[in-house]
Structure 1
Amino acid sequence: MRAIKIVMLAVAGMVVMSCESNTYDEVSVVTTNPTYLANIKPIMSANCTSCHSSDGGQQPYLETYDDVKTAVESGGLLDEINAPSGQGMPEIGRMPQHKIDMVNNWANNGFPN
């Protein structure tokens, strides 16, 4: 009886360890040709504009295409989002890597609107 309990416990442990906590958002495919309206604006709205907007008061503002493009061109935005968690932006924690990659791809592709 004890051997069965040990085997059951081992199996349960393996099942728990094999589970991943990634959400759908974290495993999404990165768009190789992102545009501002379709891909970047939603990322900024969800992660940045609560603080970086005229309402939030923190500059640089990241509300418009021109705002975000200027923040990327200055080097600050990409440095901030690529920094390790706790050292960059957003302050609540690092964005999922696929979102960071999307912003980097957008910049590398010449900022398509």
Structure 2
Amino acid sequence: MNKFKIIALMLPLAAVLSNCSSAKKNKDYVDVKKITYTNDVKPIITTNCTPCHMPPQGRKEPFENYEQVKTHIGAILERVTLPQDNRKFMPPVNKKPSLTEDQVAVLVNWQKQNMPE
């Protein structure tokens, strides 16, 4: 009879412990890459916003360094996500290809991560 009591007590305990395992992955957890200006954002800006936003040729708001891009990230995101037929869309369709969804996602996630340098 004692074996049955031990088994009866151990089964619920085993079920609880199996659900508390630190080795289990939370299905809601998403490993988000840490995005930085230097490694991720600057190459996108340099490739897609030059020469218009890079002095000395640039005649528009300069985006040549971290502080300038950080200050204007809201406006940058607004312009690169407009419909391409909108006259305010950036970069101009006749000058550069539009940013890819992945490039826009990098900018969005950088902003969400408080724009680390």
Q: Same fold (TM over 0.5)?
A: yes
1 or 2 for the larger relative contact order (CA 8 Å, sep ≥6)? Answer: 1
Q: Deviations over 1:28-57 (max 9, x none)?
A: xxx732100000000001000211011232
Aligned to 2:76: 77
**1:100 Cα offset (Å):** 0.5
Percentage identity across paired residues of the two chains: 30
**1:94 Cα offset (Å):** 2.0
Distance 1:49 1:85 in 2: 19
**1:78 Cα offset (Å):** 1.1
**1:103 Cα offset (Å):** 0.5
Aligned to 2:109: 105
Runs of 4+ in 1 over 6 A off after TM superposition: none
Larger radius of gyration: 2
Does the 8 Å contact 2:51/2:58 carry over to 1? no
Which blocks of at least 5 consecutive residues in structure 2 are unaligned?
Answer: 1-31
Cα root mean square deviation, aligned = 1.5
**1:58 Cα offset (Å):** 2.6
Q: Secondary structure at the match of 2:114?
A: coil
Distance 1:83 1:58 in 2: 21
Distance 2:78 2:104 in 1: 11
TM-score (norm 1): 0.65
TM-score (norm 2): 0.63
Distance 1:81 1:58 in 2: 18
Distance 1:68 1:54 in 2: 14
Distance 2:109 2:70 in 1: 13
Which blocks of at least 5 consecutive residues in structure 1 are unaligned?
Answer: 1-30
- Equivalences, count: 81
